[in-house]
Amino acid sequence: MSEPVVGVIGGMGPEATVELMQRVIDATPAADDADHIHMLVDNNPKVPSRIKALIEGAGEDPGPTIAGMARSLEGCGADFLVIPCNTAHHYWGDAAAAVSVPVWNLVDLTLATVTAKTGTPARVGMLASPALRKVALYEQYAQRHGVSLVYPGDEGGLLEVIRAVKADRVTSREVALLAAAARELAEGGADALVLGCTEFSLIADRFAAPVPAFDTLQVLAERIVAYVKHGVSPGDRGVPAGVPVTTGW
């Protein structure tokens, strides 16, 4: 029986997409090339800016482009689709409506993983783009998972970090901004942290998480492997047996 083929709606940003591919490879039990997972990847950095659309209220709507990418990947043979960008999940409905194959929802998947791994924490600290809070993206799913969300005070600093990662000009200052936001959330009572921007995934290993922490890019990579190699549905609220979800970074 052939394995499911994953289609990746990528390019948001391009390095985060490549990082997802590498993490899927790293998490796959493989002794030979043929043991690895078939990935169809549209690494399209020309998707209109989510920051411009959601924060600045200007620019082109990214939804139609994301929907078109979904249709293209389905046409190429993808059995399910993923989007390795949290903010782009504001347009998840556009992608889901455009195709007949499942489009995984990273926001729902992440919160399910957090509660399965740690119990039901009362407070989840969000390290994410200010756009997520503005459109209440995680809030749409938090209640069903029994969690409340808290955000750091300096969200402008987090946006500065995102822009530095995209421009490949990260310095110790940006790492310190992200680490300070994590400490603020932990000291404010967060039981767990969610790294809710896949750009942050590229630099999070430069500091230690002060409380149990979940990198959404790592969650997605491990869940892809769990589904393709172990048949564990993304709708399974439990942590896949034999495929432990990583905490910390």
Residue 157 sits in a domain whose CATH number is 3.40.50.1860
CB 214 within 8 A of CB 195: yes
Co-location of 86 and 118 in the same domain: no
**Which residues contact residue 225 at a Cβ distance below 8 angstroms, ignoring those fewer than 6 apart?**
24, 27, 28, 37, 243
Whether the pLDDT of residue 27 is over 60: the answer is yes
Catalytic residue, candidates 53, 85, 162, 220? 85
**Residue 1 domain flag:** no
- Integer Cα distance of 182 and 194 in angstroms: 10
- Whether 76 is catalytic is no
Same domain, 100 and 124: no
User: In terms of domains, do 208 and 225 share one?
Assistant: no
Same domain as 175, residue 143: yes
Q: Based on the fold, state whether residues 195 and 134 are members of the same structural domain.
A: yes
The answer to whether the peptide bond before residue 238 is cis (omega within 30 degrees of 0) is no
Which residue did the predictor score with more confidence, 1 or 86?
A: 86
For the chain, the domain total comes to 2
Average of per-residue pLDDT across 95-107: 98
Identify whether residues 93 and 156 lie together within a single domain.
Answer: no
d(CA 184, CA 152): 7
Q: Are residues 81 and 157 in the same domain?
A: no
Closest CA to 202 of 3, 18, 10, 6: 18
Q: Tell me: do 92 and 122 sit in the same domain.
A: no
pLDDT digits (tens, 9 = 90+) for 212-239: 999 999 999 999 999 999 999 887 654 4
| pLDDT on residue 233 | 87
Q: How confident is the model at residue 51 (pLDDT cuts 50, 70, 90)?
A: confident
**Closest to 147 (Cα-Cα) out of 168, 124, 127:** 124
180 and 88 housed in the same domain: no
Per-residue confidence (pLDDT) for residue 246, from 0 to 100: 53
Of the residues 21, 81, 197, 220, only one is catalytic, namely: 197
197 is catalytic: yes
Percent with pLDDT over 70 in the chain: 94
- Whether the per-residue pLDDT at 29 is higher than 50: the answer is yes
- Global pTM value: 0.93
Residue 243 has pLDDT above 70, yes or no: no
Nearest to 41 by CA among 18, 62, 23: 18
Residue 56's domain spans which residues?
6-106+217-230
pLDDT at 55: 87
Tokens of 197: 């921007």
